[in-house]
Structure 1
Amino acid sequence: MDRLRRFICLGSESGTYYISETDLGIENAACIQRLIDDGRGVEAVKELITYSTEGRVAKDKPIIFALAFLARNSKDLKTKTAAYNALSDICRIPTQLFIFIDFAQNLSGNTKGWGRCQRTAISDWYNDKIPKQLALHVTKYIQRNGWSHKDVLRLGHVKPENQGTSVILRYVVKGLEATKKEYLKEDSPSNIQELISYLEVVDTVKHSGDKQQVARLIEEYDLAREHVPTSMLNCREIWRALLQHMPMTAMLRNLSKMTTMGLFPSRGDNTKLVVDRLKDEELLRKARIHPFNVLIALKAYEQGKSDRGKLRWIPNEQIRAALNSAFYASFKFIEPTNKRFLIAVDISSSMTHGGIHGTPQMSPAIGAAAMAMSTARTEPHYQIVAFSTDIRPVELNGSLTVQQCCLKFAELSEGGTNCSKPMQWAMEKNLAYDVFIVYTDCETWYGNTHPSEALRQYRAAMNIPNARLIVCCMTSNGFTLADPEDPGMLDIAGFDSAAPEVIRNFVMGHL
């Protein structure tokens, strides 16, 4: 079960979180098969539901693969039924549903057809949605992974259970005109008329060449970027309309694009709207965005060019300053773990060169300083040290900026990266810690003692059997220090927006 938790959170049983996407197949799911064989399939499904609903997973694919495996590879009817009943809990949007179907298809081998259980589950997925919500889903997420709603409805033999759902499914299969002909009557209920009106708007946006009309409809009906044809996404007025109701995460992701469109002059309503949102602490709290992710947005924005492609922009100074303020403001919304931390930051000169694998706009030095500062601002019990071949305590407090933290580490810059040193130093000083976190670039050198052995020695000497070690190699795309048989060790190859949540889950013993 511990291996299952690791698999659904990391995409691997081994104790390594890879920033890059990894291919998932039957060979990755040995722990799931053992749970099925031991009669614990239903228990495994319950664990998937818990981790999904509590938002503990870093990426969608591993947990969806696990669900598909339990649904398709189990001969136990209770397990199969439980897995299919959990489909709507874990696959909440069509993109996730299409991923599940794709995995289920691949796991089925040469078997033809979907079977009654899968058809029923797919049918329930569509029928369980409120019609307005379903209308948004089928128009926003039309197709992914080679699957479309039209394919799914045909293979799933989906039968609508109410008139609202009937309208939407008819629209998917037959189009707008056929839907209007069948359901739009003078005496049609108001909810049916509203649904058809929404579908008409979506169709108009899809086919209209009038940018002013499209912008007006986007704003009036709160349409998303996915509703807008690609040909329209080079229009300033379209982006202005999208911005009005854009969620915080989407706004951060699209700031650069909107700046290239000239949406943010030094003074103007759009600039004020973005700045006000970034300074609204209640919006930041509700968005639940980790400070590291705000920092990613800030670094991406202020560099003035995309890492891929040809986008170039001149950053708006007011927005840049607001992003900086949002970064520091968002620390107060992190819930402390109340564990005892030793944070060890590599001070070799290579930390200042190149970009982080998964976050290329940021150097390892800045990423490590930001994460160390995150601990200093949110946790009551911590010690921060700089390490190379030796250890030096560093005084960081919650009032320092990232730049000030970087300067403190830069003043101590040395060569060498002994990843065993933090545990050895803590043992020598007789200091009690629950969690060791090592931030380095791609150096995983150690002296005469392997880090896994140093951790075991520390546990025994200090009588802290559950002490944990995380090694974050920020520019690496693969390395091995963690003992795969030790649930208290974790390697992170690279560092992306999901990594802070992976660290938190590991610290709390959730994986």
Structure 2
Amino acid sequence: MFGVNGRIKRPSVEILRNEVDGAIDSLIQNGSGMTIISLLDKISGKHFKFYPVAYALAKCARCADRQVSKQAYLLIHKVCKIPSHLFLFHYYCKHAVNLRGWPRSHRKAIAAWYTENKDYKEDMIQFARHVTKYKCRYGISQRKVIKSCHPKPPNEKFDFIFRYATKGLKKANEKYPPQSSAGNTKVMSDKCEDFLRDYETIRSGHVPLDCVIDTIKKWRLTWEHIPPRFLKKEERCEEFKERYKEEYKEIWRTLLLHTQMPMTAIVRNLVKMTRLGLLIPNSKEENMVCQKLNDPMILEQSNIHPFHVLTALAAYRTGQTKRKGEDIKWAVSEGVVKALFQSFLHTQALPPTDKRLLLAIDSAIEMNDSVGSSCLPIKEAAAALALAVHQNSTSSETVTFGNVAAKFEFQPHDQSVFDIESALERIHQRAEDIQRSNFNAPFLFARQNIETYDGIVLLTSLVDTEEAATIRRSFQEYKEQRNCNVKAVVITYCHSEHVGTEEDSAILDVEGADACAAKQIMRFISDNKEGFEEIDIDLRY
């Protein structure tokens, strides 16, 4: 989002301050602060990582421009969807902008996030779930935040949960006794007290496994609610290893089959569930996972980012990893791999097109680097995006290029579904022992082809100044030779030199892994202006 020159693997406050403060401050000082607010509003829910949004919002909220600050605080209701987002926003306000104490505007905005939250007003159990699920993030506790912002509860149910979060269930019950208690007019008659009492019971740790499983089924708890001893395999002695493993397996089976486990949690824990023996071929658990991964409605409601799915696919299909010096292996489920790729295609949601496209994937050594801090090689990310476009195009060709361009065929697997496993393996075999590729090669391939392309898409790690000039020159030569209205798209996964210019609107630059990137690329090639707009801001500082 920031366009930083270099990768941020662990974005500490110091790194963000050194890299992006100048750009954000310059925009605010030049009167473009509301433009930042507008952009943050539009990308809400479409980002791969939340920290850039939280940092930019914190900078705007604590800036000297009162209008920008006011709008930034109003925006936290839309941008911060869960308490952990709110805590990260407060963390950046405190450490990046040197917020001291709890100023009135900051306190009121945080309090309003709780008391005016529509989801909480409609479902108080959801509020109780979030209070217990997100107890502490980024060194900031739910208890500390609620105590410091002094929210005014709109009703007794809110007051009961606020008292529980700050003082515990016993104190909350003193003011609002359970319905069975008599002699007090203030009685907590809804399910919140039952939920919190059951949660505190299993949290104590002195309960049998059956009680924990019954509680999970009753309240559809998430894995964050479960006591650590039921989620971590004990290794005190050989005698107890099998017993704890079975308990561990039974907990995860219950979480998967009897709760609405979020899509992100399913994707993140595929390796864990496979190692426990849950995702064996044709099992009930594997069928449910594959069904959820292939359900467009569930994927849309979960708002999962395509890059999350792709990263999970890259990690899962290897069948091994190393953690804390220990080699960890698992039996890869072919059904899960196929479901993950289909899930990636669903999240892209590309409409069919009859445009003739040339997709060119760079095969230089740098393409073996990872995308940001993920385990996903740039080459695999590029191949998956190319395959997604290829699958929705009736007329497209794919090439890999280093010194020269060579045709690359995606092989159908079954029912017109392309084999992502085969594609990723063969794309690795195309690696060339060169540092930088010849960016004229794809255009030379296009000129030698009899057919004229409507769009030429380059996928590479980064583009420097000289390479950008080469792409512009080669593209211009191709247009003059064919005398056609062709479009060029340059996709990079690191901060790069822009290829497009104000004079040539037929070139689109795409950086990173935006959730809507593929859709916008197809719109650009089809001359569809929807989703594109001119933003006039000065980024110099």
- Using structure 1 for the length normalisation, give the TM-score: 0.78
Residues 190/343 of structure 1: CA separation in 2 closer, same or farther (3 Å cut) = farther
Q: Deviations over 1:62-120 (max 9, x none)?
A: 1111111111022x3222211111111111111111111111112443x6332211111
The answer for the alignment partner of 2:31 in structure 1 is: 39
The answer for the alignment partner of 2:224 in structure 1 is: 226
How much does 1:372 deviate? 2.3
How much does 1:48 deviate? 1.2
Aligned length: 477
Gapped runs of 5+ residues in structure 2?
A: 233-247, 522-530, 536-541
Q: Deviations over 1:417-442 (max 9, x none)?
A: 424225653785696665632246xx
Residues 248/369 of structure 1: CA separation in 2 closer, same or farther (3 Å cut) = same
Higher normalized contact order (CA 8 Å, seq sep 6+, divided by chain length): 1
Decide which of 83, 86, 110 is 1:94's aligned counterpart: 83
- The answer to whether the 8 A contact 2:279-2:285 is kept is yes
How much does 1:251 deviate? 1.6
SS for the counterpart of 1:29 is helix
How much does 1:359 deviate? 4.7
Residues 290/127 of structure 1: CA separation in 2 closer, same or farther (3 Å cut) = closer
Gapped runs of 5+ residues in structure 1?
A: 1-9, 473-477, 493-498
Distance in 1 between the 2:448 and 2:532 partners? 26
RMSD over aligned Cα atoms = 3.9
SS for the counterpart of 1:208 is coil
Distance in 2 between the 1:292 and 1:32 partners? 26
Residues 156/329 of structure 1: CA separation in 2 closer, same or farther (3 Å cut) = closer
How much does 1:38 deviate? 3.2
Distance in 1 between the 2:177 and 2:410 partners? 66
How much does 1:273 deviate? 3.5
How much does 1:323 deviate? 3.3
Partner AA of 1:127 in structure 2: T
- The answer to whether the 8 A contact 2:27-2:33 is kept is yes
SS for the counterpart of 1:161 is coil
Distance in 1 between the 2:314 and 2:78 partners? 35
Decide which of 367, 380, 398 is 1:384's aligned counterpart: 398
Matched-pair identity in % = 25
Distance in 2 between the 1:153 and 1:352 partners? 47
Give the 5 Å matches for 1:397-416: 399=416, 400-405=418-423, 415-416=433-434
Distance in 1 between the 2:152 and 2:292 partners? 43
Decide which of 423, 444, 448 is 1:425's aligned counterpart: 444
How much does 1:329 deviate? 6.4
SS for the counterpart of 1:25 is helix
SS for the counterpart of 2:403 is coil
Decide which of 202, 218, 230 is 2:199's aligned counterpart: 202
The answer for the alignment partner of 1:66 in structure 2 is: 56
Residues 390/57 of structure 1: CA separation in 2 closer, same or farther (3 Å cut) = same
Partner AA of 1:307 in structure 2: K
Partner AA of 1:228 in structure 2: I
Residues 426/63 of structure 1: CA separation in 2 closer, same or farther (3 Å cut) = farther
Decide which of 257, 262, 266 is 2:272's aligned counterpart: 257
Distance in 2 between the 1:256 and 1:70 partners? 40
Distance in 1 between the 2:495 and 2:35 partners? 32
- Using structure 2 for the length normalisation, give the TM-score: 0.75
Q: Deviations over 1:322-381 (max 9, x none)?
A: 432452465256333768754222446x69989776454x66665543332122013456
Distance in 2 between the 1:281 and 1:115 partners? 44
Residues 288/384 of structure 1: CA separation in 2 closer, same or farther (3 Å cut) = farther
Residues 147/281 of structure 1: CA separation in 2 closer, same or farther (3 Å cut) = closer
